[in-house]
Amino acid sequence: MKNKELKILLSAPRGFCAGVERAIEIVEKSIQKYGSPVYVRHEIVHNKFVVDDLRNKGAIFVEELEEIEDKTRPVIFSAHGVPKKIPQDAKNYNMTYVDATCPLVSKVHREAENLHKAGYHLILIGHENHPEVIGTMGQLPKGSIDLIQNESEANNYDPKNFEKIAYVTQTTLSVDDTKEIISILKEKFSNIREPAKEDICYATTNRQMAVKNIAKKCDLFFVIGSRNSSNSVRLVEVAKKSGCENSILIHSQSEIPFNLIENSNIIGISSGASAPEILVENFIKELKNKFTVTIEEVEIIKENVVFRVPKKLN
């Protein structure tokens, strides 16, 4: 079996984006500054390996502030962002909090608020119950923002008589997913206002472009990432749509499908924006145990974005 030759096309960029790196650094620096435990509301990023690592360093993960027994300890808000009432609740509890919301998500929050103040009724294109969607909708009063998840919801969308309508999008969607929905909305509402700059984040777009670039050359495509990671799940969809029907998400409970790999000559590998590179390395190591592997990294763009951590942690 070992003699089977396997070519790996390694998609680049892949893995951690600047927002995820910043969020993890915020938790680590908070533990250094305040000692442990520090609390984190919701998984800081959607990756079990990262969450377990931070838990071992002294972070305690909760879903709601009410669960925090010792309210003298600091709490960190996850990279996905939180509804407006959460920081307010933390203040009411006299809690110290650090906001690790990705700056690109914060940009969408500010955009939504400004449009609302300017008298627009908002549409958010995104997935229900995703923490980022809950956070963005939670910036505005109830009834002033509607969620649209797919083309049929866009077709059926019939708002009350709003003079001014605008849309924003979840940052981790695929450009292709939103394109159809946006064109339906533009057809229905010729005066709909769009974001001044694309809401979908640079890292999501870059990772999807990198996957598109190699998927059609692959017999099998693997995306390393968590099942609840929106951008990882989108990468699998992008690989399928781009010509590699056999595209699979590899998460913490996954068995490596060696039987499928055995029948492949070229496999593609990428990883979601919240997946650390060590998971990719471990996956490749497993393959090297069974196959004669050659690796070609295919990079389409260099990323040099860095987001600073809040001043109070320096």
- Residues with a catalytic annotation lie at 132
Question: What is the spatial distance between Cα 308 and Cα 106, in angstroms, rounded to a whole number?
Answer: 14
Q: d(Cα 289, Cα 207) in Å, to the nearest integer?
A: 28
CA 135-138-143 angle, 5° bins: 140
What gap in Å lies between CA 237 and CA 230, rounded to an integer? 11
Q: Which amino acid is at 45?
A: V
Sheet architecture: strand order including 145-148: 145-148, 121-125, 165-169
Q: Label each residue of 108-168 as H, E or C.
A: HHHHHHHHHHCCCEEEEECCCCCHHHHHHHCCCCCCCEEEECCHHHHHHCCCCCCCCEEEE
Coil vs helix vs strand at 190: coil
Burial class (CB in 10 A: 0-12, 13-18, 19+), 246: middle
